[in-house]
């Protein structure tokens, strides 16, 4: 027995000191933690029981499939965005067209650099004032810069030409704009229209907040329950995207109860 224990100890000592084993162990722990964070419980159990094979399968079937284009594989977050910024800046230098200014604005918008995004969108509009996407995205940018009065005419002009622009996201931005301007009755109509045609948590939560402000808790609770219920069955990438609204819905439900 002592000899067996000594042999096992020697093997474990070798494995721990082996760079390959350490790399595999780190990879498996990384995939296990990622599965838990995404609430992929099925995968988490199988990675724990049969680590190597299932960690590799999880990496290709879940991790890479749900990763955004800015973070493929083991690339550092933001590296692809920085590369894309340089590419677009070079294209603007040589071509200087509206489309490249617009795309660069979107990259900055996604990274939270709203002042830079605004400059790019305005540069795009100087070159093509008729583009719906540019007007809509500039309007959304201005809303987030707490300048709803400037955002309103841009968003309304897009809505007039294409009411369901960006699959309802432009309408949501206009509803947020009207709420910020104190026109809650008008905003309520937009939120109701959006939630009848889409299941966006962003819309349902803000509609619920307006219901609560109007002392209509039953209507608010119905919207909040939908948000929490839908989240339980949503894919991992959607849960990650909407988690701020789901958390807000749960907080409001606790206050109601």
Give pLDDT tens digits along the chain (257 positions): 434 433 443 444 544 566 676 777 788 887 788 777 666 677 777 777 877 777 777 776 666 554 443 323 333 345 457 778 788 888 887 888 888 999 999 988 988 889 999 999 999 999 999 999 999 999 999 999 999 999 999 999 999 999 999 999 999 999 999 999 999 999 999 999 999 999 999 999 999 999 999 999 999 999 999 999 988 888 888 888 888 899 999 999 998 87
Exposure letters 95-123 (e unless 16+ CB within 10 A, then b): eeebbbbbbbbbbbbeeeebebbbbbbeb
What residues have CB less than 8 Å from 107, skipping those under 6 apart?
A: 81, 84, 85, 88
What residues have CB less than 8 Å from 156, skipping those under 6 apart?
A: 174
The pLDDT tens digits of the residues spanning 154-178 come to 999 999 999 999 999 999 999 999 9
> What is the distance between the alpha carbons of residues 96 and 14, in angstroms, rounded to a whole number?
60
pTM score of the predicted model: 0.67
167: DSSP letter: G
The pLDDT tens digits of the residues spanning 44-95 come to 777 778 777 777 777 766 665 544 433 233 333 454 577 787 888 888 878 8
> What is the distance between the alpha carbons of residues 172 and 153, in angstroms, rounded to a whole number?
14
CB 172 within 8 A of CB 203: yes
**DSSP per-residue string spanning 98-125:** HHHHHHHHHHHHHTT-HHHHHHHHHHHH
């Amino acid at each position: 027995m002592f000899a067996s224990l000594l042999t096992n100890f020697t093997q474990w000592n070798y494995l721990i000191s082996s760079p390959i084993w350490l790399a595999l162990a780190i990879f498996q722990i990384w995939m296990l933690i990622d599965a838990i964070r995404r609430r992929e419980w099925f995968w988490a159990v199988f990675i724990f029981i049969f680590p190597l094979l299932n960690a590799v399968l999880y990496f290709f079937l879940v991790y890479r499939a749900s990763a955004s284009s800015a973070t493929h594989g083991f690339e550092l977050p933001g590296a692809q965005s920085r590369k894309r910024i340089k590419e677009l800046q070079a294209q603007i230098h040589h071509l200087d067209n509206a489309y490249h200014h617009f795309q660069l604005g979107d990259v900055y918008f996604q990274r939270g650099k709203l002042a830079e995004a605004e400059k790019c969108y305005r540069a795009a509009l100087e070159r093509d004032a008729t583009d719906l996407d540019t007007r809509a995205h500039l309007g959304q940018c201005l809303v987030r810069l707490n300048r709803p009065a400037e955002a309103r005419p841009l968003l309304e002009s897009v809505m007039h030409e294409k009411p369901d622009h960006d699959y309802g996201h432009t309408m949501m931005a206009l509803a947020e704009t009207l709420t910020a301007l104190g026109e809650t009755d008008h905003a309520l109509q937009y939120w109701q229209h959006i939630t009848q045609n889409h299941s966006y948590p962003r819309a349902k939560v803000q509609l619920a907040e307006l219901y609560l402000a109007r002392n209509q808790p039953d209507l608010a609770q119905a919207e909040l329950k939908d948000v929490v219920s839908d989240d339980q069955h949503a894919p991992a990438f959607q849960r990650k995207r909407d988690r701020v609204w789901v958390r807000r819905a749960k907080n409001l439900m606790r206050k109601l109860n």
